[in-house]
Amino acid sequence: MNIIKVKHCSTCQKAFNCGDTPQGEACWCNDFPPIFDPFDIADCLCPSCFKTACSNKIDEFVATITPETAIGNKASLLPETTHIIEGIDYYFEDRNYVFKPWFHLKRGYCCKSDCTHCPY
């Protein structure tokens, strides 16, 4: 049975809802890439702390990527997603989307559009 639990963030102690709804909607954390080993964190994080932790882990990964290692990188092997997340996949500049290196790495190839953050 799906149930929403009220948990407290292991980082900031803020209360937040965690889990799938009885109607079958997946937990908010399922929108994020599955990049954490369950043993990396003590318990669930609130949406804000989880986004920060996810962004930090992605930045660490991206820092190791070179144009030579970008092709076939681990991010390109993740399940395809229909959601893109501000701060993780993109940011806005002058009301335009600017895709971050993580977004490009998940795609797995250069789109030849001369993107600002293309790692390829």
Give residue 43's pLDDT. Answer: 72
Give residue 42's pLDDT. Answer: 62
Give residue 118's pLDDT. Answer: 95
Domain boundaries, the chain: 1-58, 64-120
For the chain, which ranges sit under pLDDT 70?
1, 38-42
Residue 97 bridge partners (DSSP): 92
Residues 15-39 pLDDT 10s = 999 888 888 888 888 888 888 775 6
Give residue 2's pLDDT. Answer: 73
Residues 88 and 32 sit within 8 Å (Cβ to Cβ): yes
Tell the residue number behind the tokens 């986004």, with chain if given: 51
CA gap 18, 46 in Å, rounded: 8
Tell the residue number behind the tokens 């639990």, with chain if given: 5
